Structure 1
């Protein structure tokens, strides 16, 4: 084997380019990768700008003439854009498989759209990794065939380290420009780390193969300490990838977060020592992303909890949180006089040191912010389902203080998240299970207050027990009554999927008791302006039940709103979404918040329904936008 020219620098320093044969090309490859990242960011920012302009245009058309359907395309350009959007949605939305086992649920395949994104990313990575690196025996640099691949893999790996760290932060340039919230980028963060782990394996394995062939392994490890730091960085990266698997995160989330942050810090230190000075800029960039994120979050926390921007002069540290236990192991946490605003669907990070020191957890805000100009504060409400850890401590504290004033000093960080703008759709379908209504109820309330282009809203809430109505039942009834004086039709259907031992239904002041063994579907009409209590049917089955679930989606003049409670098995997703979509005159938004099974079924059905109706393909059927939110990220 010809080993000429293989000095200490050329042979295995794993220093990413000590040979001038490779450095110029490899640095160019690294720059091109970030050119692509910037280009993708610019493209998504442009798409966001188009969506904002489209939303404003639709709302202006609504104010000019209330009889128009502003979400329908008006010209060939808007029709072309709508058709392209519909095709992309039909490709991206489906999620055909969803596993439900205690372990296999963490192996559920991604939606098709995410696989397409990964396919593009992997293709780019493979092209950058292998283009021009496979040498033929006739090449003048054939003696460096192992090093050439090793160096290229090193650059392909190190250039993606800042991307991994950027995608892990809550406050980052990508989210600011594109409007894609940090929690919706988390899956890319994990898959990028997994991909880099593979390119790192290529990096060290090609060098190691050369050392083995030259019988140079022991000498390399002895004379080049940076090699050991490289293997250490590989071990830390591998540990973060394995420990970041969903099963382990769910088992001990608090422990996962602490060790994940510590391991990431050690990884950057090891990389700083391992890579040469001219490649350390990628380590600095990673640190910059983290420093920006932590700096903004700390400053934001201080501003919130010291009330530095509040109109009042109160400087009480934090907020006073009132805990109240509800049925179904749920806690209602209420904070009055909150001196900041938020958008419906956003979340805050909550910390109560008295219960769990050094822990902070995200929860969706279940109320809307006061938007009146003369208002100085709002009431912030969180509906928290107790599982384990922090949420279980909250529930125990709420139960223990049932007879006393259950208040605690709380600290908030946020609001965070970019919820969907639903004001420019003609029809909106909101679908939630259990505490997922914390996300959809504020959206419903905001649209009733300011409908924009929205004319019809169908709200489905699936709960296991009638007692769970205490979470949002009064609020929903109030919203239905409020909608009657507005120009938007609101249809609320609460699906109770498990009978209580003895269930009283109020109808016109009379109590009708249904035993648990009676499996016939029950419908209780809570509020309906066009149906008196005497006219309302208490039970329904077959075609009658289908009609009730459709909730009379007619286009007759006048405004109708209702709230129905249906006692039956868990409804099929198709029966909840199809009716409103088929009756819509303009574009429909479907918002789903629930477990992975519900969101997967919704994704697949919306895509198939769009394809079935040939949306924006000459049939007159209008677009269907889908937004899904899950309990965990």
Structure 2
């Protein structure tokens, strides 16, 4: 049948299948070339001895940077979110959508190529042609689904991003299969023959069964269904796709069964590769285990943290990883037969693998209950207590891919809530590169980054304790790097925004910006206590509050119980001008009282360009743990923060965001706007901006 002519000079069906894969192969090849060029750029920048290693040095790379900037502006663009009856819809960026639409157009063109759908005598030919185009899409779907991903390896893309394409290619396959079935039914309907075929023709029965199973797969893969129960989704997904492959194999003609065998081979390859690596990583026989006669190589400790978060720590892990990667963690003694992905919150030099896991429901809730049960309440000896608190865990990974951040001149890291587990290792990895350069261990440059800007948005202040030690260590290491290499730029600025706390009352306190190493000028006016003036060298004002750690409150319980916060009406904050309105809400959602002392934050430069802002608030300070970080009450303005960094950048910059969809969307739109406003690589001298939005799928 595949070599039968459809008439009107139409190519045979095998040729149409080859045309489809020629297009797919071209796209994969183009992505591979771009990946190779990006890797070479990183290699070149880390060996460039000039003062601007992240700036293009040749005509070819200038052209490449210009083309890249244009493509980025188009692919990063996204529509603002829309709210319908309380549910907010977030839209996918234009780049991925364009690829899916292009695939859809190509598939539909091949389905109807040189066929007249208005001619009733061609309906059977359309049925054959669409069937052959439908079945040849199967290998692409399975190529995009595996964790051991060939396309991801070639293109430098993480499997969890490719999984979005996997779902939409599957929906395109469903549409193609529906057209295939529809034209056969349309042809049989002329003779009232549909019911007869479904009852008596085995080939029709198998084809209709395959379509029904594929429909169930597509419907059950919708985001609302997946979120109901991820474990159930994974189980039924595996069962359904096995049934679908069997039905398609029984339905397909012999000459196209190869398109079914290829997916089977890809599934076997993915499973064998994963299980082989997991066996090596988790069995102590392949490693030096600290516990004698232990079968498994990893044991983890579970520690409860504020905010219903569990810190899981694996000492001396048997596998290496890079900042920004994640693993699938399994603990059968606590959560049998379940495996979930968690971002690695530590860096390899720590000698341990740490995860911060928020207790939601199911397995993560069991982790927190176990950690809380054994935290400081055991009556046995310290050795027995430590043994009781540890459990055997298995790891699968690491997975995840991001361009090395050390190659960029300036890096902006933004996180919302638990997103800090992603940006913190990225921050520490760059600072580790600065330390290596300071030691002079090698002649090669270990990092080209000069400036780092960190923004962390939290709800309750108790979340600061998650990474308080790491943040202070970063500050100390940066100071040491400046002492070792005073002639090299090493600037870092960190801010924390509190959006929902039981106090929600801004405090003005001296905050040391790590960029300059000098404290800022702050003026506090309080009618009850008089006026205090503290004069310092910097010309920028910083508005901050000092949090109170390790305390619980009714507000925290409110936020934790509902999975969200009962107070979210805090306005945005402009760090440059400290613009905060007097609409500051308490936990109950009411406006804070206005009979509290007046706090005025000003800069050393007076004038119309930098107005004084009045904030109705009260002030309570309880600790000095984060005196080196600017802390604000409110929500950040990512566009202003990113613009300030880009104006100082002397080479390509990177913006990394991990957090809620709203924050990610705002950062994405800000990068597109600023890239277009500054005319990046279009004759203005403005350098490129690389954006990485980390979410598990889009």
Structure 2 length-normalised TM: 0.78
Contact 1:490 1:562 in 2 (8 A): no
From the superposition, tell whether residues 56 and 547 of structure 1 become closer, same or farther in structure 2 (CA, over 3 Å). Answer: farther
How far is 1:595 from its partner?
A: 1.2
Structure 2, unmatched stretches of 5+, are 379-385, 435-446, 482-487, 522-533, 546-571, 580-602, 604-625
- Coordinate RMSD, CA, aligned: 2.8
Which residue pairs with 1:306 in the alignment? Answer: 283
From the superposition, tell whether residues 124 and 444 of structure 1 become closer, same or farther in structure 2 (CA, over 3 Å). Answer: same
From the superposition, tell whether residues 523 and 187 of structure 1 become closer, same or farther in structure 2 (CA, over 3 Å). Answer: farther
Distance 1:361 1:543 in 2: 36
How far is 1:567 from its partner?
A: 2.9
How far is 1:479 from its partner?
A: 0.7
Counterpart secondary structure, 1:484: helix
Which residue pairs with 1:381 in the alignment? Answer: 354
Q: Check if 1:58 corresponds to 2:41.
A: no
Contact 2:160 2:696 in 1 (8 A): no
Cα deviation code 1:523-568 (max 9, x no counterpart): 744978433998688857999942689xx9xxxxxxxx99323131
Distance 1:424 1:73 in 2: 12
| 1:416 corresponds to which of 399, 402, 420 | 399
How far is 1:395 from its partner?
A: 0.9
How far is 1:332 from its partner?
A: 0.6
Q: Check if 1:493 corresponds to 2:490.
A: no
| 2:148 corresponds to which of 171, 186, 203 | 171
Counterpart secondary structure, 1:358: coil
From the superposition, tell whether residues 292 and 309 of structure 1 become closer, same or farther in structure 2 (CA, over 3 Å). Answer: same
Contact 2:315 2:352 in 1 (8 A): yes
User: What are the equivalent positions in structure 2 for 1:218-229 lying under 5 Å apart?
Assistant: 218-229=195-206
From the superposition, tell whether residues 568 and 414 of structure 1 become closer, same or farther in structure 2 (CA, over 3 Å). Answer: same
Contact 2:499 2:635 in 1 (8 A): yes
How far is 1:485 from its partner?
A: 1.9
Contact 2:300 2:314 in 1 (8 A): yes
Counterpart secondary structure, 1:428: strand
Distance 1:210 1:175 in 2: 42
Q: Check if 1:434 corresponds to 2:464.
A: no
From the superposition, tell whether residues 354 and 127 of structure 1 become closer, same or farther in structure 2 (CA, over 3 Å). Answer: same
Which residue pairs with 2:564 in the alignment? Answer: none
From the superposition, tell whether residues 543 and 94 of structure 1 become closer, same or farther in structure 2 (CA, over 3 Å). Answer: closer
Cα deviation code 1:397-440 (max 9, x no counterpart): 11111124321111111111112311111000000011111111
Which residue pairs with 2:473 in the alignment? Answer: 478
**Greater shift in the superposed pair: 533-542 or 111-120:** 533-542
How far is 1:242 from its partner?
A: 0.7
Which residue pairs with 1:531 in the alignment? Answer: 519
How far is 1:321 from its partner?
A: 0.7
| 2:111 corresponds to which of 129, 135, 148 | 129
From the superposition, tell whether residues 133 and 21 of structure 1 become closer, same or farther in structure 2 (CA, over 3 Å). Answer: closer
- What is the count of residue pairs matched by the alignment? 577
Structure 1, unmatched stretches of 5+, are 1-15, 372-377, 502-515, 553-560
Which residue pairs with 2:102 in the alignment? Answer: 120
Which residue pairs with 2:661 in the alignment? Answer: 596
How far is 1:44 from its partner?
A: 0.7
Distance 2:544 2:398 in 1: 43
Counterpart secondary structure, 1:483: helix
Contact 1:433 1:462 in 2 (8 A): yes
How far is 1:21 from its partner?
A: 4.5
Which residue pairs with 2:576 in the alignment? Answer: 546
| 1:271 corresponds to which of 242, 248, 269 | 248
Which residue pairs with 1:334 in the alignment? Answer: 313
User: What are the equivalent positions in structure 2 for 1:42-441 lying under 5 Å apart?
Assistant: 42-61=29-48, 64-65=49-50, 68-99=51-82, 104-105=87-88, 107-134=89-116, 143=121, 145-307=122-284, 309-310=286-287, 316-370=295-349, 378-402=351-375, 403-404=377-378, 405=386, 406-441=389-424
Distance 2:179 2:449 in 1: 54
Contact 2:4 2:12 in 1 (8 A): no
Contact 1:128 1:156 in 2 (8 A): yes
| 2:634 corresponds to which of 562, 565, 569 | 569
Counterpart secondary structure, 1:461: strand
**Greater shift in the superposed pair: 69-78 or 387-396:** 69-78
From the superposition, tell whether residues 103 and 264 of structure 1 become closer, same or farther in structure 2 (CA, over 3 Å). Answer: farther
Distance 1:227 1:543 in 2: 63
